[in-house]
Amino acid sequence: MKISVVGTGYVGLVSGACLADVGNDVLCLDLDPEKIRVLEAGDIPIHEPGLLEIVRRNVAAGRLSFTTDIEAAARFGTMQFIAVGTPPDEDGSADLQYVLAAARNIGRYMDGYRVVVDKSTVPVGTGDQVSAVIAEELRRRESDLEFSVVSNPEFLKEGAAVEDFMRPDRIIVGAEDERAIELMRELYGPFQRNREKVLVMDVKSAEMTKYAANAMLATRISFMNELANLAETLGADIELVRQGIGSDPRIGWQFLYAGCGYGGSCFPKDVKALVRTGRESGHELQILNAVESANEAQKLRLVDKIVARFGEDLSGKHFGLWGLAFKPNTDDMRDAPSRTIVAELFRRGASVAAYDPVAVTEARRIFGDDARLSFVERPMSVLEGADALVIVTEWKEFRSPDFERMRQMLKTPVVFDGRNMYEPAVMKRYGLEYHGIGRR
């Protein structure tokens, strides 16, 4: 099957590469010539485990190629995947300009039947807008070419996106046209050989499913963070509480970890967009308003603990920081808690030495040449001259550090753990003052 993918970000590049890996011919379009240059040079512009190997393998096999030529992409694939960004507008709503521009270009240059697949996360009703834009372009051309618009939201976790695409737990297809549905079933056949995973529904329900999924997961995170803060006040231990409620099969274990807040490209943006959609429809989504407020406050929870320990004025204090990315196995720092924490430490007069296995380049782009922030190449190096260690991202290499060396290197043997990576009793045994989230 011939497939065009508009956009080479996390969703577009992973989707294009994985679809090529099962034998399809895929052409990925991006208007950023630098991205295309990087891809054609045999590299990728993002950090995603396993993706580089798949891209190189399929480029070598001739199944995956890249272009900046809009017309060529529109004419290439019967399946036209739109996988461009939908960043939040100032009012929190999703900005659809890139989605609609992609749709307009498809309508302008398509030369046969097309299935236009909305892979981007888009508000309910976007499918209608995409359809209207394509139809308008075809009318201008006085063309009677047929097309179908399908909603096919992605459920890819950054850091595990390849695995999620190749072994999906469900494939949502929002469509009313039988021809398009059959083509989507054919396309995803290789990814569901052990059982039927395609769930067919109407376009609007598919669009809403994506937002509902992310909003639910964000709600679980903020719920646990709220409970963790209460546990600290009451003298309970949130880790024991987590085990107690997670063992209930009606609740389960996923997304029940307390921490310093969620970030990334999806949860913050999608919660805001769903709240905005509800407001525009006359429904105030009170739970999601609270989820968003709780998360923003939680990003400062570690700083609150630092202030309680060292005082309001942190002038002259120096902190070591482990983790910059919003989660492990990615270099994504969009809405990352580290950004809020570092900015607040700066505001209070402190300096920071940071380590992250892959996100330093992105951090340099975000923070610039601020002299208050330095980067080191090894985790233990951040401890040199530091008044305390602050842990923001739960990278695997932080799980079993040399605690004895940690105590010796820190000016003050204090650890502020925003991801509850260690047991308080173990830290006490090594002579480290430990401040987790909701730990007794």
Burial class (CB in 10 A: 0-12, 13-18, 19+), 377: exposed
List Cα–Cα distances, 412 to 230, 319, 348, 401, in angstroms: 27, 10, 19, 17
Contact 145, 110 (CB under 8 A): yes
Closest CA to 95 of 288, 218, 216, 269: 269
In the chain, how many H helices and how many E strands? 17, 14
Closest CA to 335 of 12, 92, 100: 92
* Among 18, 28, 260, 266, the one annotated catalytic: 266
Whether residue 266 lies in the annotated active site? yes
**Which pair of structure tokens corresponds to residue 20?**
């090529």
- In one-letter notation, the amino acid at residue 255 is F
CB burial of 26-54 (b: ≥16 within 10 Å; e: otherwise) equals bbbbbbeeebbebbeeeebebbbbebeeb
Contact 48, 16 (CB under 8 A): no
**What one-character DSSP code corresponds to residue 375?**
E
Q: Which residues contact 399 (CB under 8 A, 6 or more apart)?
A: 421
Strand partners, 114: 147
Separation CA 440–CA 432 (nearest Å): 15
Q: Which position has the token pair 């050989």?
A: 193
The overall longest dimension of the chain from CA atoms, in Å, is 78
Q: Which residues contact 425 (CB under 8 A, 6 or more apart)?
A: none
Q: What is the CA angle 110-112-116, rounded to 5?
A: 65
Contact 285, 271 (CB under 8 A): no
The catalytic site residues sit at 266
